[in-house]
Chain A
Amino acid sequence: MSNSQAVVSNQEHDQEHIPELQHHFTNMNQQRNAASLGMWVFLGTEIMFFGGMFLAYLIYRIWYFNEFAIGSRSLDIWLGTINTAVLICSSLTVALSVRAAQRGKRKTLIGLIITTIIFGLGFLFIKGIEWYQKFKEHHVPGASFDISDLIHKYPNVPLDPHHAQLYFSLYFALTGLHALHMIVGVGIFTVLLIMAWKGRFTPEYHTPIEIGGLYWHFVDIVWIYLFPLLYLIDRKPIK
């Protein structure tokens, strides 16, 4: 194996034999740690980016609880749960693809990246079905917004359509922003697929897989919080 020859811990040896090592890093390990740290700093800014919208959601949820509870009930809990499972499966395939890259298994890596992309597209497809249902029910904020079906369904709960419109605005903003991140994630993994196809990744160099994976897992974590916050506000039986 030509790879094992390049892994000699001698630093000068590393610089000679690994073309991916940039001149301002001492060795591959330092270069890898720097790239991963940079990704984590970016994810820190992403946390604050989503955090502002989560805060807006939490404030209005406290203020207008009835409308948020009924709005949450109108979402399809089955599709929401299935989509959560789809994302968790995609996170598994991403974790396994990092492992395949670490061990230099090119074919396994390509298969796992393709599976990840399919899971990502599957999530977006199911999300699209949910949005389409909301369009048909006139639950999309705007001129044709109408929750008379919900008012009719829950006659004992006082509902203000304006406050319900806030719930659905935040629902579409949060899931929309999340879906945008998923689309970017699918794009990133398409690039990684091409790189893996060309055999660019070795046990010494697979930083793009590693930090692309960090991004994917982060988007999964955002959904792990969005699912209970949007779908599970108040599912218990109404007395």
Chain B
Amino acid sequence: MSAHPSSEHIIPSKLYYIIWATLMCLTVITAVVAFVDLGPFNTVVALLIATFKATLVVLFFMHVKYTSEKMTKAVILSAIFWLMLLLIISLADYSTRMLG
């Protein structure tokens, strides 16, 4: 917890509109790129764009970039860590079963 009482950071509304416009553009881009044949990279590109969009929402709309509470970042990173543990280890098992 921060020791001294400081007032909240108020983000200028212009920044919110820029983030919103970026998210809208990326939505159109991801839908259009899906029709282009990139071989196995279609899924990779779609997930990279989704992750970039999610990061923008977390940092700016959810104020994580400006929070004075360090524990918030620890909670988010550990949640992502456990999710990755679940996905990566399970997929490493299931996706290699047909090889054996």
Q: Give the interface of A toward B (CB within 8 A).
A: 7, 9, 11, 14, 26-30, 32-34, 36-37, 40-41, 43-44, 47-48, 51-52, 54-55, 58-59, 62-63, 77, 80-81, 84-85, 88-89, 91-92, 94-96, 98-99, 102-103, 213-214, 217-218, 220-221, 224-225, 227-229, 231-237
With an 8 A cutoff between CB atoms, is B99 at the interface?
Answer: no
Within 8 A of A (CB), among B17-36: 17, 19-20, 23-24, 27-28, 30-31, 34-36
Contact pick for B62, options A11, A51, A217, A237, CB 8 Å: A217
Known A9-B4, A92-B61, A232-B31; further 12 A-B contacts with Cβ < 8 A? A9-B5, A29-B6, A51-B86, A88-B27, A91-B57, A92-B19, A94-B61, A95-B61, A102-B10, A228-B50, A232-B30, A234-B42
Once the chains bind, are B87 and A58 in contact (CB under 8 Å)? Answer: yes
B17 to chain A: which residues have CB within 8 Å?
92
Contact pick for B10, options A80, A99, A232, CB 8 Å: A99
Once the chains bind, are A88 and B31 in contact (CB under 8 Å)? Answer: no
B31 to chain A: which residues have CB within 8 Å?
77, 80-81, 232
B33: min CB distance to chain A, Å:
9
Task: Please report the C-alpha to C-alpha distance between residue A91 and residue B19 in the assembled complex, in whole angstroms.
Answer: 10
A185: min CB distance to chain B, Å:
14
A92 to chain B: which residues have CB within 8 Å?
16-17, 19-20, 61
Once the chains bind, are B69 and A33 in contact (CB under 8 Å)? Answer: yes
B13 to chain A: which residues have CB within 8 Å?
96, 99
Q: What residue of chain B has the Cβ atom nearest to residue A88's Cβ?
A: B23
Task: Please report the C-alpha to C-alpha distance between residue A99 and residue B46 in the assembled complex, in whole angstroms.
Answer: 31
A-B contact list, 6 entries, CB within 8 Å = A29-B8, A29-B68, A40-B75, A81-B27, A228-B49, A237-B35
B98: min CB distance to chain A, Å:
8
A99-B13, A214-B62 known; A224 and B95 CB under 8 Å? no
A40: min CB distance to chain B, Å:
5
Contact pick for A235, options B28, B34, B62, B83, CB 8 Å: B34
Task: Please report the C-alpha to C-alpha distance between residue A48 and residue B27 in the assembled complex, in whole angstroms.
Answer: 25
Interface of chain B, main secondary structure = helix
A47-B83, A232-B46 known; A221 and B37 CB under 8 Å? no
User: What is the total number of residues of chain B having a CB less than 8 Å from a CB of chain A?
Assistant: 58
Q: Which of B49, B62, B90 has the largest number of chain A CB atoms within 10 A?
A: B62
Q: Which of A30, A80, A94, A237 has the largest number of chain B CB atoms within 10 A?
A: A30
B29: min CB distance to chain A, Å:
11
Task: Please report the C-alpha to C-alpha distance between residue A152 and residue B3 in the assembled complex, in whole angstroms.
Answer: 67
B20 to chain A: which residues have CB within 8 Å?
88-89, 91-92
Task: Please report the C-alpha to C-alpha distance between residue A220 and residue B42 in the assembled complex, in whole angstroms.
Answer: 22
B96: min CB distance to chain A, Å:
10
Once the chains bind, are A228 and B47 in contact (CB under 8 Å)? Answer: yes
Q: What residue of chain B has the Cβ atom nearest to residue A25's Cβ?
A: B1
